[in-house]
Amino acid sequence: MRLFKRENGIYYVEFERGKKRSLKTKDKALAQRLFNQLKREYLKGKIILLSEGKKIKLSEFIEEYLEWCRENRSDETFKKARYVLQKLKDHTGDIYIKALTKKHLDEYVSTLLAQGISRTTINIHIRTIKSALTKAVEWEYVQNHPLEGYKQLKVHQTPPRFLLPEDIAKVEKVIDDEFWLFVFRLFVYTGMRLGEIHKLRWKHIDLNRNVIKVEKTKTFQSRVIPIHPKLRAELEARTPAMGKVVPYAKPTIEHKLKNCFKKAGFKDLRIHDLRHTFASLMVMAGVDLKTVQELLGHQSYRTTEIYAHLSPQHLHEAIKKFPI
């Protein structure tokens, strides 16, 4: 019998192998007192242990998982998990986590489809739920993943929308404020996400090494982006402060740039399409997909493959490798 702390900071007691109980506290002294009390009761035979996975309900798991998410994932990932898991619980009720089945998720997905939610958004829900349950397996709340093998909905993939160099020039021409012109170029020349640029601070920009360090990303992995010569000139022209490079809320950044897109004739262009622009122009210039994946910070190579059609050269190289 032992007392231990999980990576979410919460203390647990393990009575015997596979038989654990949350003490629901991060306070070490309180956890020790509760442990001593439980140990006395356990030795007197006053505690009946339930089989693994049957003693924790969905609400309790969600609470612990979100605590872990808050400390170990980006703000966007935390908020998404909180929203999706709450919707799941509202649909299934506060069932025991081990009782969750693929049928529950089928019914949940059907409900979302009936509400007119897009398949792409529903797939985000599926991935979020599966990711949370992977942690439940790791924490030994369930022995096997309840949704192992559950497939996402098929989605018709449309090519990413992006700006050509002449389109970029059109947008730049209508931006009459130097600061927002700088912000636009920051997106175009780095391929960074809106959330990443919102969090970017001057301390993350190293002009000596000519790189921008992107920290606490969507995938919770840092990466380094070399500074493009045109962007470097913009950065050098600005007096570095101690705070954020773009000291505005995300909705404000979106609103300002979308107005510029409309003035330039691109009324349906999204902020995220500037990330597609960076990647697409890199691929069209002959940069290999693996390098683009690294610059974008994609965890999966498959995510970067949406730009493959822009690089006919890799097809020619593949044919040359035909052995006969």
Known catalytic residues are 193, 218, 272, 275, 298, 307
Q: Which two tokens stand for residue 234?
A: 């913009």
CB contact at 8 A, 183 and 231: no
**DSSP β-bridge partners for residue 251:** none
Question: If we measure between CA atoms, which residue out of 160, 158, 130 comes closest to residue 145?
Answer: 130
- Alpha-carbon distance of 190 to 296, in angstroms, equals 8
**DSSP β-bridge partners for residue 244:** 201
- Alpha-carbon distance of 23 to 26, in angstroms, equals 9
CA torsion, ordered 127, 132, 136, 142, to nearest 10 deg: -40
Query: 258: helix, coil or strand?
Result: helix
Cβ neighbors of 110 (< 8 A, separation 6 or more) are none
CA dihedral sign of residues 51, 56, 62, 64: negative
Cβ neighbors of 62 (< 8 A, separation 6 or more) are 85, 86, 89, 132
CB contact at 8 A, 81 and 73: yes
Question: If we measure between CA atoms, which residue out of 169, 218, 167, 179 comes closest to residue 196?
Answer: 218
- Alpha-carbon distance of 70 to 66, in angstroms, equals 6
**Which residue's structure tokens are 């397996």?**
137
